[in-house]
Chains A and B, each alone.
Chain A
Amino acid sequence: MIQRITKTQQGEQMTHTRRRVGLLAGVLVTAGLLAACGSDDGGDEARAGITLAVNPWTGSAVNANVAKVVLEADLGTAVTFTEIDEFATWPGMDAGDIDAVLEVWPSGHAADYEQYIDGKKSVVDLGLLGPEAKIGWYVPTFVVEQYPELATWEGFKDPELAKLFSTAESGADLGQFLMGDPTYVTYDEQIIANLGLPLKYVVGGSEATLIETLKTAVADQKPVLVQFWKPHWLQLELPLSEVKLPEVTEACAASAAAGDGGYACDYPADALYKAASAKLEEKNKAAFDFLKKFQLTTEQQSEIAGYVDRDGMAPLDAAKKWVEANPDAVKAWLG
């Protein structure tokens, strides 16, 4: 390295292009030195630090921050976050770059569960988080107020009522059913076909598109029918009503499992769960045991999410506030 530095310095006769190379070499040398300096931080703390995945929704940030507050205060475990897509989280846990994720929506990750938890066993199931999520069909509340028969799916059998929902994409004869993010679980196309509804299934493509459509519809008082879910921050902001679909039956569940296209009822509830890298137990047993016991009720999670979404608090501050006010809950996770 020193040789290279002297070489660059005696470059009087260097040609124009050489000078550029010299610059690059200079940067590289400096870079190398810096890298060498940066890598000697030995770890003599009591427990290995862990990395939690934070997926891009409030609930995920709430869980991770509450866990961080307790882990750092009571278990001497430093917690860092990796903000990452929910699907990229799994190969991250597989490699051990991410130690745990505290909120997985089961409906979207059946394949990951099969691949990493059942198959390769590089990820372990940490049990339920507590809250249950529920997907369903939604309309803005003003629609139900104007047309009470649209509170249940049977109302949509009427072609005239269905046409209230028509757009250029659905054509004038059918109503539009809008699906948001196509990666979320969906039986809507089957439900429409099997219940014989005069609706056209249109994929908006993303949650953001879905939300923008809902907001515009409410602002314009124009009916729209969408797939949506709870818990979601938008539910606090916009008056939305769930359309009642036929009760979940065993036949429905069987059809979903078989994938035979015969699904014709409501969505089952999604019990959110936690998962960790298989390497975590060895790396930091105390943190592993804690995360296994870690649970929040729906009410607790929404309370903290409210601090963030409604009051504009930073997730970490919201978590601290809640942890201070709820020592009993924390004790249960540690005991």
Chain B
Amino acid sequence: MSTTVPATPTERPVPLRSLDRVVGIWVGLGVVVGAVVLGTLVFGIDVPSWFDNHLQQWSKSAYGWTVDHRDDYWLFVFVFEPISTLLDTAVTTVADLLALLHWPGVLTLVGFTAWRVGGRSASVASVLSLFAIGLLGLWEPAMATMAIMVVSVVLALVIGIPLGVWSARSDRVDQILRPLLDTAQVMPTFVYLIPLVVMFGIQNPSAVLATVVYAVPPAVRLTNHGLRAVPTVIEEVGVAFGGTPRQRLLKVQAPVARPTILLGLNQVIMMAFGIVVIAAIVGTDDLGRLVLNTLQKNDIGAAAAPGVAIVLAAVALDRMSTGQRAVRRASRAPSALSRLWAARSIRDRWLIAGGTVVVVAVLSALAGADEFPEAWKVTIDGPVDAVLGWTKEHLRSGVPVIGGTQSISDALITHVLEPLRSWLVSVPWLAVVGGFAALGLLLGGWRLALLVTTCTVAIASMGEVPGGEGGTTAMWDIAMDTLSLVLVSIVISVVIAVPLGIVAGRSRRFDRALRPLLDFAQVMPQFVYLIPVVALFGASRATGVVAAVVYAVPPAIRLTSLGLQEVPVPPREAATSFGATSRQELIKVQLPLALRSILLGVNQTMLMVLATVVIAALVGAGGLGLQVIYGLTKSLQQIGQGVAGGLSIVLLAIVLDRLTQAWGDRADPQRRQ
């Protein structure tokens, strides 16, 4: 603002920079339009077939080489092999430990830890969850899943939190890490699952690594976000008191950023459990395998139990590590039990805690409680099948006013998805590139426009794949197909998630009621509920949209509600003291201050939608997801197709991510000042 043009006091000063900016944007848009017209005249409406980066061929030969040299190349023998052994040992050790404790011992350990970390309700929730798994008769496979998850989550945190701290401190690191995190989060697991098996062997090591890759991003992102959101005033207090950077991080920033970092932990756990079924492809003998096996028989009733058990296991681990109390530790008076506990010395605490667990474990061993009592087993196949049967019979058609799922599906495809897809495919490809570039220019500026252009052109350079009319199809056309699906899914998700997030942010009770539901939506293996959806919406893109929406809504609700809850009390009190109504306070104070967090929610929605592209393809949505599935399984022949398809998904994600991010930055009140 220092360079404003001097003006008469009555007139508002016109900032010179903003004038520059307006002119710059018009010139920029002119350049974009010119380039599109010229480019289309030169290169044509469709992507020319010579425009090919040969990634497909390259990946194919790289994969072939890896297969041939996995026993003799130094990297595989001296680096990957030991890592593989280490991971396998870690998982089997945790599994042995859990088996040694017997089920009563595990319940004691979990209940106790949850009580210390999360408080009484967390303790009750996690113990009940695990107990319910036992009742479902799935204790053993659940412990196998637990072992893989514990190792994966710990590894994800060990990698993720330091990276988050580092990127909070350095903008450059942040910039370098962002595309890598996007890739890790969005690159479909199917693309690298079989190569992982080739490099690290079947079962545990590959399962852990696939899980870690997928679960690390939220740890980094939310640590980074939390530390960066620490208000400058608080930071400066730390500096004023002469704190070293290390002290400031541990004593000032980390405590303030704690809720966000804990949300990060929650998301790491949810992500990790979200991949249990896919990881079972590489041969883990756990809940994921049970889901795969029952689905193979189309037995949804039987798949429901291990599916629910995965959710319960996730809830137990989550509540054990990120209970409400950890968030609001200071705000509540300790219970009598907690006071009694606090009065013990640390050594006593260790002895009591460890002692109790050991005693319970020994007693169980003596009592022969090796397995969860068979007599208590509860089956849910019947009720689940009954509910599904009813749903299929009554919701597909004949519902008053809306018709039924079948007509909704048909309308969504015929009137929304197909017109959008064919429009995106029919316009000159450079016009789509130009459209994104223009958006980048408007939301962010030259650099963003350039980045977006590079990414979209890179998608166009992915070459052709077999199939379609005339025998081959350009990857670009397939990407446009996916883009149409993704855009529609994002809009629907945001329309559902943001209002729910606002309500949850204002009502703690609603928030608490919603939480298990969100966990369920995020962790329940999608395949289990999507197969019945196929009956309702058909093997079609509409079912793909449902898949994406169900998966993308939870993080958006969480972040919106967190954003509202994090609005500092002083501005809200100020508003109240000025006589603002609750509604005014929401619209004028809370929402603007929470906007950044809400837009982060929108941004996450988008990444989630893109992360479901493959699952969507498994229920009939086609597009890039299908290319990835080809890549998983026709191994050598089409691995390139999978890599190119997967990378196209990542590039689309980066484009959409940077655009929404720039939009978020523009909406950020702190930056506007």
Binding site for B on A (CB under 8 A): 8-12, 14, 17, 19, 26-27, 30-32, 34-35, 38, 56-57, 82-85, 87-88, 90-92, 94-95, 97-98, 108, 110-112, 114-116, 119-120, 167-169, 171, 178, 182-183, 189, 193, 202-213, 215-216, 219, 233-234, 261, 309
Contacts and interface: CB of A to CB of B under 8 A. Distances in A.
A251 B90 CA distance: 56
A91 B637 contact: no
Contacts of B570: none
Given A56-B296, A97-B203, A208-B298, A112 B636 contact: yes
A168 B96 CA distance: 52
A201 B99 CA distance: 50
Interface string B406-438: 000110011000100000000000000000000
Contact of A115 (B285, B468, B635): B635
A195 to B, nearest CB: 15
B298 A168 contact: no
Given A12-B345, A91-B197, A183-B634, 19 more contacts: A9-B347, A31-B93, A38-B93, A83-B289, A87-B194, A87-B633, A88-B197, A88-B281, A88-B283, A94-B67, A98-B202, A115-B67, A168-B409, A169-B540, A183-B630, A183-B633, A205-B626, A210-B539, A213-B539
A205 B201 CA distance: 27
A81 B2 CA distance: 74
A166 to B, nearest CB: 11
A82 B201 CA distance: 13
B596 to A, nearest CB: 29
Name the 8 nearest CB pairs between A and B, nearest first: A84-B283, A183-B633, A204-B539, A168-B413, A111-B636, A168-B410, A85-B281, A205-B618
A82 B282 CA distance: 10
Interface string B601-643: 0000000000000000111111001100110111111000000
Interface stretch (B123-131, B159-167, B527-535): B527-535
Interface in B173-212: 193-194, 197-198, 201-203
A204 B619 contact: yes
Contact of B281 (A84, A95, A207, A210): A84
Contacts of A178: 539
B346 interface: yes
A95 B298 contact: no
- Is chain A's interface secondary structure helix, strand, loop, or mixed overall? helix
Nearest to B298: A211
Contacts of A88: 193-194, 197, 202, 281-283
For chain B, give the interface size range: 35 or more
B97 interface: yes
B292 A56 contact: yes
Contacts of B94: 31
Contacts of A83: 283, 285, 289, 293
Interface of B: 64, 67-68, 70, 89-90, 92-94, 96-97, 100, 193-194, 197-198, 201-203, 250, 281-283, 285, 289, 292-293, 295-298, 345-347, 350, 354, 392, 409-410, 413-414, 418, 467-469, 471, 527, 531-532, 534-535, 538-542, 617-622, 625-626, 629-630, 632-637
- Is chain B's interface secondary structure helix, strand, loop, or mixed overall? helix
A78 to B, nearest CB: 17
Given A19-B346, A111-B635, A212 B618 contact: no
Contacts of B92: 35, 38
A245 B74 CA distance: 52
Given A88-B283, A203-B626, A212-B531, A95 B202 contact: yes
A30 B345 CA distance: 23
B443 to A, nearest CB: 34
A309 B296 CA distance: 12
Nearest to B544: A205
Given A95-B202, A167-B538, A168-B409, A205 B297 contact: no
Contacts of A215: 298, 535
Contacts of A95: 70, 201-202
B250 A209 contact: no
Given A12-B347, A87-B633, A34 B96 contact: yes
A85 B632 CA distance: 11
Contact of B283 (A38, A92, A219): A92
A82 B296 contact: no
A216 B97 contact: no
B630 A182 contact: yes
A115 B67 CA distance: 8
Contacts of B97: 27, 30-31, 34
Contacts of A56: 292-293, 296
A84 B618 CA distance: 19
Nearest to B534: A212
Contacts of B541: 169
Contacts of A92: 197, 201-202, 283
Contacts of A115: 64, 67, 635-636
8 contacts: A31-B94, A38-B96, A82-B202, A98-B202, A120-B67, A205-B629, A209-B531, A209-B534
